[in-house]
Amino acid sequence: MQTIEKFNFAGKKAIVRVDFNVPLDENGKITDDTRIRGALPTLKKILTDGGSVIIMSHMGKPKGKVNAKYSLSQIVDAVSEKLGVKVQFAPDCAKAAKAAAALKPGEALMIENLRFYPEEEGKPVGIEKEDPAYEEAKKAMKASQKEFAKTLASYADCYVNDAFGTAHRKHASTAVIADYFDTNNKMLGFLMEKEVEAVDNILSNIKRPFTAIMGGSKVSTKIGIIENLMDKVDNLILCGGMTYTFAKAQGGHIGNSICEDDKMDLALDIIAQAKTKGVNLVLGSDCVAADSFSNDAKTQIVPSNAIPEGWEGLDAGPETRKAFAAAIENAKTILWNGPAGVFEFDNFTAGSRAIAEAIGKATKAGAYSLIGGGDSVACINKFGMADQVSYISTGGGALLEAIEGKELPGVAAIKK
């Protein structure tokens, strides 16, 4: 596989898929530029080698239509400033051949939001799956997706994928385009390489004990990853809203706490699997119960399986926090996805904070810690502890799918 480190971009045009899907405020100002900063090493390497760069990305969900709200023109100045080069802009990503051809070494061009074209995602528009004509429409869309990818590919001599956030999608710019470059002229960017290496540390290069912490609101969205981790971890902490599905499944009373009644059998199965596989499953024994879903609610500490009627568990209790910390502090490999409580409310951050602090301690003592998924990243940032963990992934869905053991189309396309 070609690598960006080895590749000399001098005199070459590179088309780079980045993830510049950054949050904007109502005035179009960027509120978090992490994703732009993440792609800079790749873009700078191309320019300093003496190459020129065509930057492509999606932003938001314009659903295949032009929509000024999602125009990448809003971020061109910010990217220019960070890159230290005036970035030109092509207002139609499928009609940028002239602008790309005119690029000189050291110059950069950003093309408009790829998702203004339905071909980017490759899903037929305006037709439901149930429609008898759907399969035909899908075939036609796949064909035009190839044409779209071919057009993008025609702008450049080589292709770099540095968009980990969309690596789990088989879109025109993330996977299909790679078919138009030979193996020597396509590669992962520095950010993608780092992300892939981080996943490898968690999946193959494990130092024990390995503790995984899965939180968030629901079991259903995390079940794939929980089942895959069951064969790998020594300690599995399940926390956040899913605590109460487990408590109820075991006959507990959970008041108004969030619960997926149809996932109770699954919860019992996870408990049984942990036993058979010798995994130390840590579930919250006590919780901070609130009398309403609000930051100012009245609270009390109660067992997670004896929550009074009218109350709901919104955070991990003190005993639980201790148990979490014990399972984290001696670990040598740690994965955290999903908060232990409704951390958006300042009064319900203690569980997530205890996890973050224990991870910080273990990391200082030599553990490898990977934090991923939007909410746990937001958590660690809220606590100002981003520098106390080994790696923070930029990918939500992509990270989860990679850890579930699925091959990411964005990575597979480069290897082909």
> What amino acid positions are annotated as catalytic residues?
35, 218, 374, 397
Binding footprint of ligand AMP on the chain (CB under 6 A): 216-218, 221, 240-241, 258, 313-314, 338-339, 341-342, 344, 373, 375
Distance CA 305, CA 311 (A): 12
Choice between 288 and 408, CB closer to ligand AMP: 288
* Amino acid of residue 200: D
Choice between 147 and 344, CB closer to ligand AMP: 344
Look at residue 58 and give its three-state secondary structure: coil
| Nearest in space to 12 (alpha carbons), one of 153, 106, 150, 110 | 106
Please say whether the beta carbons of 126 and 183 come within 8 A. Answer: no
CB of 197 to ligand AMP, least distance (A): 24
Please say whether the beta carbons of 114 and 58 come within 8 A. Answer: yes
DSSP 378-393: HHHHHTT-GGGSSEE-
Choice between 62 and 216, CB closer to ligand AMP: 216
| 14 sits in which H/E element | strand 13-17
Q: What angle do CA 65, 171, 102 make, to 5 degrees?
A: 75
Q: Spell out where 176-272 has E strands.
A: 186-188, 210-214, 235-238, 253-254
CB of 60 to ligand AMP, least distance (A): 19
- Cis peptide preceding 318, ω within 30 of 0: no
Burial class (CB in 10 A: 0-12, 13-18, 19+), 157: middle
Taking CB positions, which residue lies at the least distance from ligand AMP? Answer: 216
CB of 37 to ligand AMP, least distance (A): 24
Choice between 166 and 256, CB closer to ligand AMP: 256
Choice between 192 and 213, CB closer to ligand AMP: 213
Choice between 360 and 372, CB closer to ligand AMP: 372
CB of 225 to ligand AMP, least distance (A): 11
CB of 375 to ligand AMP, least distance (A): 4
What is the number of other CB atoms lying within 10 angstroms of the CB of residue 289?
27
DSSP 356-381: HHHHHHHHHTT-EEEE-SHHHHHHHH
Q: Enter the tokens of residue 106.
A: 């050291």
Give the β-pairing of 299-303 and 306-307: unpaired
CB of 376 to ligand AMP, least distance (A): 8
Choice between 209 and 372, CB closer to ligand AMP: 372
Query: Residue length, the chain?
Result: 416
CB of 313 to ligand AMP, least distance (A): 5
Q: What is the DSSP letter of 350?
A: H
| 301 sits in which H/E element | strand 299-303
